[in-house]
Structure 1
Amino acid sequence: MIDRRSMLAGASCALAILAGGCATSSYPRAPGFVRRSATQFLRDGQPYRIVGANMWYAAWLGADAEYGDRARLMRELDRLQAMGLNNLRIMAAAEEGPFNNSIKPGFTRDDGGTNPALMEGLDFAMAEIGKRGMTAVLVLSNFWEWSGGLQTLLYRATGQYIDMGDPDHPWPAFADATAGFYANEAAIESYRAHVAAIVGRTNSITGQRYAQDPAIMSWQHANEPRPGGGADAIAQFRSAYLDWIASTAELIRSIDGNHLVSLGQEGTQATFGSEELVVAAHEAVDYVTAHIWPLNWGWVAGDDLPGTWLAGKAKVEDYLAVHSRLAEDMGKPLLIEEFGFPRDDEAYSPDTTTEYRERYYRTIYDAVEKSWRTGGPLQGSNFWAWNGEARARHADFRFQDGDLAYMGDPPHEPQGWYGNFDSDASMIALVNAHADRKCLGLEAPCPS
């Protein structure tokens, strides 16, 4: 049991890190690989429970280039470690292409060639994550356009694309078109080439092969890979989608037998409500993922959070229960590896309040902690996302090409929409208190 004094002490140290104090002078070497045992994760034989965040831009900060900022990366990692986080989900891919709102530079350039500086930025980020005893999930592509993603690979193979948000191609045209990736062998070969290059890479900072790095928790096929946007496309591409999942898992394991493999799927929101397809999609991987976005999915209204919160909360709790049941039936762990919520009044500025975001995080964390206490399959979560010391550069809170203040809100979204800033004291204290409860239900010493 964590008493109030211990909880407040931990929160105070986390907040002191944000102000430049309570700094650590050395970091433990990373322990062993994260393994799966039925519905649990283990590290060095002890339960490994995830208290994490999304920090997609870590490799960009780690680059020794005009867009990099290694000093900031280390400060952000210190802040997250002080909060009690032990896992980060980061991008290990980005494909440059024709989209209006995709990040540049990418890991692969327009012609498919590799960007060495960003690859080395990933090396630096992984070296620093490992120094702090933390782990990372490395995401190997993206269904969405903000990092180029699968449709960029399809564009390179076919010369055709649909931009997300194009009024001439309303939803679900983008998602349906992107699902064509799974049936295009040339696009898949480009994807496989990047996967093989990353998974088989040797870290230029540490000299260690990625396959031998215990700071990697898992390889992930892609961010939110959907089989399509509507029922017709899902029916059309279902077989190709499942084949891509299985063949990618096989490729990764043929190069690296030490690390877990994950899919990165949202759950039933990605499968037009089909539980059966969620199960089928996760057969070839080591654990189940789910993402929860109440505002994006219309479960709450940003301009009326007080009036819509309770109904939205009920849907969140149902989604958690459904995916916990599916994971239990599969005998695999479950991670809520993305969950996000707006600030009050759907504001973007860091000086606005976060009352309803805090309620939402507590809803997720309550479910995780109940699972920890009772031995359930839900093993942790990663909030979306960490903004840290970054601030929007423009009055309209929009990202513009050339901006270097990377934050958790990707370039296609308002800067400050979902991310937590280093000044969000109540959010930081909430996350820190949750991290202090990682030992709920355990008789063994508390795992890191």
Structure 2
Amino acid sequence: MQPRGFVRVSGDRLRLVEADGSPFYFCGANCYYLLTRAADPATRHECTAVLDDAAAAGITVLRTWAFADGEQWSALQTRPGVFEERTFRALDWVVAEAGRRSMRLLLNLTNYWKDYGGMRVYVQWAYEARGQQPPMDGSGQVAAEPFYTDPDCQRMFRAYMAAVVQRVNTLTGVRYSEDPTILAWGLANEPRCEGDHACAVVPFWADAMARHLKSLDPHHLVTLDTEGFLGPSTPDEAAHSNPYSCAGTGCDFAADCGSPAIDFACAHLYPDLWLPQADEQERLRFALRWLDCHVAVARRMGKPLVLSEWGKQRSQAGEAAATGGSSRAGFYAQVLGRCVQHMQAGGLAGTAFWMMAAPSYPDYDGFTVYFHSPPSSGTGGGTANISSSSSQPEQMLPARAGERTAAVIRQHAATVALLNGRPEIASGQLPYLAQPAASLGHPSASVTPAGSISSAPHHLPLPAVGGGHGQTVHSGGSGRGRFCYCYCCCPQM
């Protein structure tokens, strides 16, 4: 069963909606490897596992790469305009299988970082074609910055976008530009730009590329998948909300996402990486402040916000038995609870945690959340050679360690499903999802009508999503929602 139709931006510019006008909030996940691993019969099962686990958990959007450039395993574009048909057919398969599960895809088209090719490969191709040596960055890699302004790079990238969006799926017979399974095109993952006047470069490039992409495909949403670092266009927010001095990144969230051709804004969130010296409470406070700030800035821009990458590394100590949940599960519950409040008030359209993987796929960065019972370390599940405790993936810890965070995500997916399927919840009529508008900084946000919150706590059951616990949502006379995930000690929002 295919998704119903193309998602669009609501008339008030605060939400995403289905073609019929019904709300489209989403609980999403990242899995960057779907394209390349689907291209190899020996690893395609790791893609099927993610699709099946995501569908079973109620995850409705997967964010993944629609590029793999240069000389690498399962490359899609091996040279400028030269495509490996086997890999393109793997992308056909990913799109078809997602649609069959009524899921949607957020497909990114290139990458600032060197992984999977991206901007640096275009720079290398352009300079080699002219018989020149490509410029290098401070780390000895080909620099990405010329990509934004070099005419040959732009010509190659425009041709690449055309080849992808005009592709006719060999499995469904549907042109990508006409397939509602694709939620949106992401112009680039985490674009940055160093150098003089850097903060003006990415917005100019993004506007030109978004307009061109819209000319090729007027049906789909377009976004720029930024990290969200705040810059000169929002100096107060940059001074108070950035995790560190971000001037050297050349990022300016409001300017980068400001083009009228960009339909919704994206931001990422990694307190563990951005605030390495902070304690857990400081990181949580930063995360909530970062989310509040970006929703507010996006609202001023007239764009919904998507938290398209975010996560927390698992604790090296595993789960905190004394509280019945790990610090990661508690962090997820707090952040996702605030996300629901922003969805209800208007401004946040969806989230996609980093990351989801098959049980056999190693947890390379400590952020992976597994939704399936993994094989033991002695069964050849792909991680037996990882022996150091600092890099040991969560899937090799006791099975319970990974389930608590997954349970929080499942419960969030169920709550988002209620927002989509129950208009009275989406419009703020049920008190257990209510949050006073002033506390979220939204003067125009809808709130629960006065007198509709009972002075005594009550419990409303949510759809069963596994775990065997009574999953309820609590509220009381204060109007501050308490989301019960069972594994996380009902963190107060």
Question: TM tier, shorter chain?
Answer: 0.7 to 0.9
Q: Which residue of 1 aligns with 2:6?
A: 33
Partners of 2:398 and 2:209 in 1: how far apart? 35
Q: Which residue of 1 aligns with 2:148?
A: 182
CA apart distance, 1:419? 13
Partners of 2:107 and 2:396 in 1: how far apart? 19
Q: Which residue of 2 aligns with 1:431?
A: 409
Alignment of 1:67-82 (within 5 A): 68-69=43-44, 71-82=45-56
Are residue 280 (structure 1) and residue 255 (structure 2) matched? yes
Q: What's the secondary structure of 1:146's corresponding residue?
A: coil
Q: Which residue of 2 aligns with 1:289?
A: 266
Which amino acid in structure 2 is aligned with residue 385 of structure 1? M
Partners of 1:333 and 1:342 in 2: how far apart? 27
Q: 1:196 aligns with which of 159, 162, 169?
A: 162
Q: What's the secondary structure of 1:120's corresponding residue?
A: helix
Tell me if the contact between 1:51 and 1:380 (Cα under 8 Å) persists in the aligned partners. yes
Q: What's the secondary structure of 2:219's corresponding residue?
A: coil
Q: What's the secondary structure of 1:51's corresponding residue?
A: strand
Query: Could you say if the C-alpha distance between residues 30 and 192 of structure 1 is closer, same or farther in structure 2, counting changes exceeding 3 Å?
Result: same
Deviation by residue 1:212-248 (Cα, 9 ceiling, x = unmatched): 10111001101111133xxxx1x43444322211111
Worse-superposed segment, 109-118 or 85-94: 109-118
Alignment of 1:35-74 (within 5 A): 35-37=8-10, 38-43=13-18, 44-63=20-39, 65-66=40-41, 68-69=43-44, 71-74=45-48
CA apart distance, 1:324? 0.9
Are residue 86 (structure 1) and residue 55 (structure 2) matched? no
Q: What's the secondary structure of 1:126's corresponding residue?
A: helix
Tell me if the contact between 1:34 and 1:41 (Cα under 8 Å) persists in the aligned partners. yes
Q: Which residue of 2 aligns with 1:385?
A: 355
Are residue 157 (structure 1) and residue 135 (structure 2) matched? no
Worse-superposed segment, 71-80 or 52-61: 71-80
CA apart distance, 1:269? 6.0
Partners of 1:295 and 1:418 in 2: how far apart? 20
Tell me if the contact between 1:39 and 1:333 (Cα under 8 Å) persists in the aligned partners. yes
Bigger relative CO (Cα 8 Å, ≥ 6 apart): 1
Are residue 217 (structure 1) and residue 183 (structure 2) matched? yes
Partners of 2:269 and 2:38 in 1: how far apart? 29
Deviation by residue 1:268-302 (Cα, 9 ceiling, x = unmatched): 168865799322221220001000111221x145x
Which amino acid in structure 2 is aligned with residue 107 of structure 1? L
Worse-superposed segment, 206-215 or 354-363: 354-363
Q: Which residue of 1 aligns with 2:423?
A: 444
Q: 2:86 aligns with which of 101, 110, 117?
A: 117
Which amino acid in structure 2 is aligned with residue 384 of structure 1? W
Partners of 1:67 and 1:153 in 2: how far apart? 29
Partners of 1:202 and 1:138 in 2: how far apart? 16
The TM-score, its normalising length taken from structure 2, stands at 0.69
RMSD across aligned positions (CA)? 3.5
Alignment of 1:125-144 (within 5 A): 125-144=94-113
Q: Which residue of 2 aligns with 1:7?
A: none
Query: Could you say if the C-alpha distance between residues 134 and 111 of structure 1 is closer, same or farther in structure 2, counting changes exceeding 3 Å?
Result: closer
Tell me if the contact between 2:310 and 2:353 (Cα under 8 Å) persists in the aligned partners. yes
Partners of 2:335 and 2:346 in 1: how far apart? 14
Deviation by residue 1:164-194 (Cα, 9 ceiling, x = unmatched): 8xxxx35xx869x312211211112221111
Partners of 1:213 and 1:117 in 2: how far apart? 21
Q: What's the secondary structure of 1:217's corresponding residue?
A: strand
Query: Could you say if the C-alpha distance between residues 122 and 420 of structure 1 is closer, same or farther in structure 2, counting changes exceeding 3 Å?
Result: farther
Q: Which residue of 1 aligns with 2:205?
A: 244
Partners of 1:62 and 1:279 in 2: how far apart? 36
Q: What's the secondary structure of 2:412's corresponding residue?
A: helix
Tell me if the contact between 1:343 and 1:418 (Cα under 8 Å) persists in the aligned partners. no
Q: How many pairs align?
A: 377
Alignment of 1:240-389 (within 5 A): 240-268=201-229, 273=246, 277-284=252-259, 285-297=262-274, 299-301=275-277, 308-345=279-316, 355-373=326-344, 375-389=345-359
Deviation by residue 1:99-129 (Cα, 9 ceiling, x = unmatched): xxxx623211156621111111010000010
Q: What's the secondary structure of 1:388's corresponding residue?
A: coil
Partners of 2:213 and 2:4 in 1: how far apart? 22
The TM-score, its normalising length taken from structure 1, stands at 0.75
Partners of 1:40 and 1:203 in 2: how far apart? 29
Q: What's the secondary structure of 2:188's corresponding residue?
A: coil
Partners of 2:342 and 2:85 in 1: how far apart? 42
Query: Could you say if the C-alpha distance between residues 389 and 354 of structure 1 is closer, same or farther in structure 2, counting changes exceeding 3 Å?
Result: farther
Tell me if the contact between 1:52 and 1:87 (Cα under 8 Å) persists in the aligned partners. yes
Q: Which runs of 5+ in 1 are unaligned?
A: 1-27, 98-102, 302-306, 348-352, 395-402, 407-412
More helix by share: 1
Tell me if the contact between 2:229 and 2:251 (Cα under 8 Å) persists in the aligned partners. no
Which amino acid in structure 1 is aligned with residue 226 of structure 2? Q
CA radius of gyration, larger in: 2
Worse-superposed segment, 242-251 or 384-393: 384-393
Q: Which runs of 5+ in 2 are unaligned?
A: 233-244, 319-323, 365-379, 384-389, 427-462, 464-493
Partners of 1:335 and 1:147 in 2: how far apart? 23
Partners of 1:419 and 1:431 in 2: how far apart? 20
